[in-house]
Amino acid sequence: MQTGADREKNILAVDDDRDILNFLKVYIESEGYRFFAAGDAAEAFAALENNRIDLIILDVLLPQKDGFDICFELREKTKAPVIFLSCKNEEPDIIRGLSAGADDYVTKPFLPGELMARIRSNLRRSTKYADEQSRIAVWRGIEADLMTREVSVGKTAVKLLPKEFDILTLFLQNPGRVFSKEEIFRYIWKDRFFEGDINTLAVHISNLRRKISIGDAHPKIVAIKGIGYKLTE
C-alpha cells in the first residue's frame, strides 16, 4: 500500500486495450490512487491539460501515434514519471523507450504487484526531486538554496547577509515584478514601513546589487522611480 507521501496521486494510463485499462483502474484505485484513462494521444494530452497528473503508464502500440513519439511530446509538457507498459519486449524497444524520456519499462504480460512497486518507486523519486527543486530559487544565472541559504552567481559562491538573502529570494521568485518599498519591508522585516526605513532598505539593496554583479550573470535590481524595485536583465 502507498505511504502518506504518496496519497492523492493521479495516475494516467494510455492504452487502446480497454480490458487493460479496466484492469489497471481496479488495481490502481484499490491502492488508493486516482485513475485516469486514455485510448490515444489526443485523449492523453487532454487528460494532462485538464488534470494534475503525477505518473503516466504508456503503451507503445497505439493508434495514430506510437508511444515513443508520445513520450517525446510528453517530456515537453510534464516532468511526471513515464512507465512504458508494452508487449514489445525486445532490448532495442526498451532502449528506445528509455531514450524517448521514459523513467521505466515494464513488459506485458506483467505482474500487478511488480507494476505497483515500480509505480511507488517512481512516485517517491519524483516527489523527492520536486521537493529538492522547490527549495531552489533560480533565475538567469543566480541560484539561491532556500534551505542552506547558499547563493551562487554563475559558478561563484556569494555570501549574503540574512536580509540581503531574503530580499534576493523575493526577487528571484518574482522576476520582473515591481515591489514597492513598503511591500519589500513588509515581506522581509514583517513590520510596518516608515519613512526612516528608506535608508535601511536602500543600503541593503545597494549591497545586494554589488554582490550579484559578477561573473556572466546579467540580472540586476533596478529602481522604479516613485515606486520601488524589480529584478530584471
Here the cell at position 132 is 529538492
Number of Cα atoms under 13 Å in the Cβ half of residue 214: 14
What is the third-level CATH fold of 4-133? Rossmann fold (3.40.50)
Provide the β-strand partners of residue 86: 107
CATH 3.40.1280.10 fits 137-232, yes or no: no
pTM of the model: 0.58
pLDDT at 2: 44
CA 168 to chain CA centroid, nearest Å: 21
Tell me which H or E stretch contains 57: strand 55-58
Of 65, 219, 198, 99, residue with least CA distance to 154: 219
With contact defined as beta carbons under 8 Å apart, do 49 and 12 qualify? no
pLDDT tens, 131-175? 555 677 888 888 888 888 999 988 889 999 999 999 999 998 888
pLDDT tens, 99-141? 888 989 999 999 999 999 999 988 988 776 565 556 778 888 8
Domain spans of the chain, in order of start: 4-133, 137-232
> Measured between alpha carbons, how far is 128 from 126 in angstroms, rounded to an integer?
5
* End-to-end Cα spacing for the chain: 48
pLDDT tens, 88-98? 999 999 999 99
